[in-house]
Structure 1
Amino acid sequence: MLKEEQEVAVLRVPQNPAPLTSTVIHIHSETAVPDHVVWSLFNTLFMNWCYLGFIAFTYSAKSRDRKMVGDMSGAQAYASTAKCLNVCTLILDIHVTTALIILFTSSSMIIFQAISQTVKNLKGQ
């Protein structure tokens, strides 16, 4: 016999008259519902335009409460609202920050030009 044939002969399952049984385990995975509490808290503390961050934080807390009770559909609904409010807050903050940067830059340039024009006028006299 070749070496491979000997290994196959050793690995064969012995014939047993007892039937083979199998066990099936069903694992129920819980659906993860993100509640966006950290994002809402960040928006509440740093970007609270029109109190949208605070409202988003309230919906996030409600979502977490629903999740603790076991109401996953209610938790999903509150989490969806919190996410929408957080996105709106973020977009609004980006627009306001951009507008403030443009306003600050343009007003600084206008002031600088006015000062330089005044200095030129004073030197010319």
Structure 2
Amino acid sequence: MNHTVQTFFAPVNSGQPPNYEMLKEEHEVAVLGAPHNPAPPTSTMIHINSETSMPDRVVWSLLNTLFMNPCCLGLIAFPYSMTSRDTKMVGDLTGAQAYASTAKCLNIWALILGILMTILLIVIPV
């Protein structure tokens, strides 16, 4: 390594003013850091496979739980839907599809029984 000593101030008795431009440059480099690269920043693209976009039926299970809940089928379907979502996030698509299929079946039965019970509640009093 070649170490050279640079003096930033001129000697007092030389009669020349000190070189303040060099000090200003050194201060800017110390404060701002090294000069930045003029190249544009790189970006990252994330590709999502279409396989992972299978429905987990959480909203349908929640609506069946809140509105039409005969025999608690909507309440039973809701944990299956949540497990399907969690399993899909882990990456087990086969397990997620199995839980989603069970939730779908329970939701269909809850919907059919809820509609039949609603029709019966309207028809019987009339």
Q: Does 1:36 align with 2:72?
A: no
Deviation for aligned residue 1:48: 1.1
Gap regions ≥5 residues in structure 1: 1-26, 106-125
Show structure 1 runs of 4+ deviating over 3 A: none
For 1:102 and 1:37, the matched residues in 2 are separated by 32
CA deviation digits over 1:53-81, x for unaligned, max 9? 01100100010010111000000000000
Q: Percent identity?
A: 62
Kindly tell me the number of residue pairs found equivalent between the two proteins.
Answer: 79
* Aligned alpha-carbon RMSD (Å): 1.3
Counterpart for residue 8 of structure 1: none
Deviation for aligned residue 1:44: 0.3
Deviation for aligned residue 1:29: 2.0
Pick the structure with more helix per residue: 1
Question: Which structure has more RCO (C-alpha within 8 Å, separation ≥ 6)?
Answer: 1
Q: Does 1:48 align with 2:82?
A: no
Structure index of larger Rg: 2
Deviation for aligned residue 1:28: 6.9
Q: How does 1:13-32 map to 2 (within 5 A)?
A: 29-31=49-51, 32=53
Scaled by the length of structure 1, what TM-score is found?
A: 0.60
